[in-house]
Structure 1
């Protein structure tokens, strides 16, 4: 295994579920962009391979939705992912960059939403951790030592 593969393997195995989802978005967008470049170059084989890889990632995202946790949200996400998947299929069949761009637009929007969610989760976790720190309340000796050193 080369160093890049080893690094990626370690990154995947140590990632949180939230980070894995972000990695899926990043991978899908990377393959879609490579597919776009190949479509514009009229390299049909390369565009097919990259767009297909993007489709596989979207399939994984659809299959990992947990409908039992939030049926309404999962139904909406499945609809978005299915739309993007169909647009990728159309881009592959018709060699239309516009179809690919529509799928990418959905994926970018979802990635940005996910990024904002992760930032908020990070803030919430930090606030919760700060509340859990057992800091002693200031007492007279502490106040005096602060005054003397100032």
Structure 2
């Protein structure tokens, strides 16, 4: 299984890697929420910190030379801030808010990948 995952990561497009990051972030947020519900501060910190790391990675790799990129950076910064608040204050509401934004980004990104594939497929079939 690890070999399969490693191969999938090595052959993934940048768009697919971004999708994997969004999905991993959502997984860590869900695990963080469960840790909050169970009163497990160590697990909460572990999982919410991992979600924070993913958002920071998305921020660092984001192209900010356009208005859209600048807006996304501001949204990532907001998500990161809510994750920090959730972790420090054991705040499930802040975690839920961050999760909703990440899910929205993921769903939008999924559509972008789908449209890109359709466009490339259609262009490839033309002579």
**Shared fold (TM-score greater than 0.5)?**
yes
- 1:24 matches 2:21: yes
Residue 70 of structure 2: SS of its match in structure 1? helix
CA separation in 1, counterparts of 2:31 and 2:5? 19
CA separation in 2, counterparts of 1:89 and 1:97? 11
- What does residue 50 of structure 2 align with? 53
- Structure 1 or 2: more helix by fraction: 2
If asked which structure has higher relative contact order (CA below 8 Å, sep 6+), I would say 2
Q: CA deviation at 1:6?
A: 2.1
Q: CA deviation at 1:10?
A: 1.1
Q: Map 1:8-87 onto structure 2 (within 5 A).
A: 8-68=5-65, 71-87=66-82
TM-score (norm 2): 0.96
Moved over 3 A (4+): none
CA separation in 2, counterparts of 1:47 and 1:5? 25
CA contact (8 A) 2:15 2:113 kept: yes
Q: CA deviation at 1:122?
A: 1.1
Residue 76 of structure 2: SS of its match in structure 1? helix
- What does residue 102 of structure 2 align with? 107
Residue 66 of structure 1: SS of its match in structure 2? coil
CA separation in 1, counterparts of 2:45 and 2:4? 27
CA separation in 2, counterparts of 1:77 and 1:6? 33
Residue 131 of structure 1: SS of its match in structure 2? coil
Residue 98 of structure 2: SS of its match in structure 1? helix
TM-score (norm 1): 0.82
CA separation in 1, counterparts of 2:78 and 2:2? 32
Q: CA deviation at 1:97?
A: 0.4
RMSD over aligned CA atoms reads: 0.9
CA contact (8 A) 2:32 2:48 kept: yes
Q: CA deviation at 1:55?
A: 0.4
